[in-house]
């Protein structure tokens, strides 16, 4: 059992939902990334999604685009990101790390070389936004040979046949994009999310994380009642870019802790309902 599967298994036994924060490697400065990863874990993160900076991040809104631009200012590339993961692993052998990015840097490194280097660095999962499941069976096989989970995006407009394809290929969890548009949008519709997740769950048995548009503890709490994991990216990136360097780690700690508390309140309320139902 790898770190992602183990994490979801433990959380399920505890009747808890996973909190998955996203940061971009190298943002705001390269030397802050590993410290931020540890801060996220200390504040309650269960899995870390680490963005690979890219010059044309088509799925990302302005906030995450700016984080990529800041990282690229320091010439942070895929090899640097893997070095950061290896540094993180020196003192954290438990928390899963998922790389999220685009095809070009991976193809420049070479699929086989990337998969091997990522495994050696301690990467647990990879989500490549512009790899459609219909065209990447060999890529998935190369990841699986290194025991790295291929993670795929699903969206409100994903047709059933693609969901079925993802169900055959995905490992670890799938990432459901809660709204139409790019990261950071604010028009989250929980009814739409609930309806689509019911359809997805009828086809996919692994955990489902929901992201895009989750900007505060209220939204995180609401989404956690529908999904197995809550992914928060743009709001955390905003905190990074609006914090002074001296206050950055404390501010991130406070924000992620507030999200953790929100998710655990749902767990506590559900547990109480189960106990009360058992007394009837």
- Known catalytic residues are 49, 60
Q: What is the rounded CA–CA span in Å between residue 241 and residue 138?
A: 38
DSSP H/E element including 49: strand 48-51
Residue 215, C-beta contacts closer than 8 angstroms, at least 6 positions apart: 186, 232, 234, 235
Ramachandran angles phi, psi of 227, nearest 5°: -120, 170
Torsion sign, CA atoms 112, 81, 154, 229: positive
Question: Assign residue 95 a region: left if phi > 0, alpha if psi is -120 to 50, beta otherwise?
Answer: beta
The alpha-carbon radius of gyration of the chain (Å, integer) is: 18
Contact 79, 52 (CB under 8 A): no
């Amino acid at each position: 059992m790898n770190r992602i599967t183990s994490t979801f298994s433990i959380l399920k036994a505890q009747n808890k939902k996973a909190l998955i924060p996203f940061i971009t490697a190298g943002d705001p400065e390269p030397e802050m990334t590993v410290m931020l990863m540890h801060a996220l874990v200390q504040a309650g993160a269960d899995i870390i999604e680490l963005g690979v900076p890219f010059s044309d991040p088509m799925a990302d809104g302005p906030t995450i685009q700016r984080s990529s631009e800041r990282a690229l200012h320091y010439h942070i590339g895929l090899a640097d990101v893997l070095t950061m993961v290896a540094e993180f692993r020196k003192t954290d052998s438990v928390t899963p790390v998922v790389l999220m990015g685009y095809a070009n840097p991976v193809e420049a490194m070479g699929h086989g070389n990337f998969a091997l280097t990522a495994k050696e660095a301690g990467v647990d999962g990879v989500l490549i936004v512009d790899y459609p499941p219909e065209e990447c069976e060999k890529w998935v096989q190369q990841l699986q040979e290194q025991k790295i989970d291929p993670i795929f995006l699903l969206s409100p407009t994903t047709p059933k046949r693609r969901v079925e394809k993802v169900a055959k290929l995905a490992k670890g969890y799938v990432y459901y994009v809660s709204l139409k548009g790019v990261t950071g949008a604010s028009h989250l519709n929980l009814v739409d999310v609930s309806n689509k997740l019911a359809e997805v769950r009828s086809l996919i048995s692994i955990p489902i994380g929901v992201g895009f548009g989750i900007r505060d503890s209220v939204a995180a709490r609401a989404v956690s009642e529908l999904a197995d994991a809550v992914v928060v990216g743009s709001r955390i990136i905003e905190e990074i870019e609006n914090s002074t360097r001296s206050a950055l780690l404390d501010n991130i700690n406070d924000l992620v802790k507030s999200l953790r508390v929100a998710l655990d309140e749902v767990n506590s309320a559900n547990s109480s309902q189960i106990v009360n139902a058992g007394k009837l």
